[in-house]
Structure 1
Amino acid sequence: MLEPHGPKRLSNIVTGDETRFPFFIIPLKRLNRMWLDEQGDRPAMLGPGFQSRKRMFTVFFNYRGSLAVDILPQDTTMTATYYVQDVLSQVKSATNEQRSKVSTSKTLFLHDNAGPHKARATTQSLRELGIQVLPHPAFSHDLAPCNFWLFPNLKDKLAGRKFHCI
């Protein structure tokens, strides 16, 4: 399917996904473990309300690096309309800009099966843009580089830091 100089190359793949980043990420639970004696009090943990301020980030990249980073406006949900008009438009313009520098004629798109990604408006828009979507089996997070590589590493690096604004 993918060949070094064939019609489908790894260099043609654009991938991305969304995740929510809280303004404060509690360090990993395994780092909070400690031995206590029988009379020892457990340390106070932060309540869930402290971590409730979150923003959704959408990141798309290819082999050359980041193509688009979108921050969903506060009190907004990710819909197919937003995904097509705001996110995909950024990805398409960045892809076109790179295409002029590199001899890439085709874009292969890898995103998961989330509702806005499968919506009729999204699939129609991708078809009109000439972007082929690679199949992504349901419940296969290990195929999306964002889920097993990018987002866990980012959240690990940001753990324990407090942010007061975007």
Structure 2
Amino acid sequence: MYTIFFSSHGIILQLPCESGKAVTATFFTEQVLPNLIKNIKKYRPKIGTRGMKILIDNASSHTTKLTKYFLDIERLELLPHPPYSPDLALCDFWLFPKLKIYLQVKDFNTLQALGTGLYQYFKSIPEEEYRNVFTSGWEG
């Protein structure tokens, strides 16, 4: 399993999760979000996370007090995500269906090979496609 964050410019974070382990609030706030912030600051060196809004689903690790506290400390605004709202789940209706087609014709023997394959696939998507998914009918 991978945690994937993307913006209108492309993939910001692609982080493997330990096989067979659940994504807990501790993992999310100690591994995922710090890596996300570090990568955001690479893409936006002058302004970092200032003014940035993130959209994550309502998984329990995303909605705990620990996660909300971390986001408050980092001044990241969390966009509300109503339960069962696929219209807001950009990964569900745009990125994952594309990725599923790509993965059907690939065979990866190791987690590292999978990570490399995912990275190459995400980089092959033109920035314009990432931008369009945020601007065509989705208001955030």
Coarse TM-score class (shorter-chain normalised): 0.7 to 0.9
For CA contacts below 8 A with separation 6 or more, give which structure has more relative contact order.
1
From 45, 66, 88, the counterpart of 2:33: 88
User: Are the aligned partners of 1:99 and 1:105 in contact in 2 as well (CA < 8 Å)?
Assistant: no
Q: How has the CA–CA distance of structure 1 residues 79 and 103 changed in structure 2, closer, same or farther, with 3 Å as cutoff?
A: closer
How many angstroms apart in 2 are the aligned matches of 1:148 and 1:140? 11
Aligned to 2:59: 114
Please give the TM-score of this superposition, normalised by the length of structure 2: 0.73
User: Are the aligned partners of 1:80 and 1:119 in contact in 2 as well (CA < 8 Å)?
Assistant: yes
For residues 4-25 of structure 1, what are the alpha-carbon distances to aligned partners after superposition, in whole Å with 9 as ceiling and x for unaligned?
Answer: xxxxxxxxxxxxxxxxxxxxxx
- Is residue 164 from structure 1 mapped to residue 99 from structure 2 by the alignment? no
Structure 1, unaligned runs of 5 or more? 1-55
The number of equivalent residue pairs is 111
Q: Which protein has the bigger helix share? A: 2
Please give the TM-score of this superposition, normalised by the length of structure 1: 0.62
- Is residue 75 from structure 1 mapped to residue 20 from structure 2 by the alignment? yes
Which 10-residue stretch deviates more, 63-72 or 94-103?
94-103
For residues 83-123 of structure 1, what are the alpha-carbon distances to aligned partners after superposition, in whole Å with 9 as ceiling and x for unaligned?
Answer: 11111011101112222256973110111111111011111
Q: What is the 5 A alignment of 1:8-23? A: none
The amino acid that maps onto 1:107 is: M
Aligned to 1:147: 92
| 4+ runs deviating over 6 angstroms | none
Q: How has the CA–CA distance of structure 1 residues 131 and 104 changed in structure 2, closer, same or farther, with 3 Å as cutoff?
A: closer
Q: What is the 5 A alignment of 1:18-97? A: 56-97=1-42
Identity of aligned residues (%): 34
- Is residue 135 from structure 1 mapped to residue 76 from structure 2 by the alignment? no
Report the 3-state secondary structure (helix = DSSP H, G, I; strand = E; otherwise coil) of the residue aligned with 1:100: coil
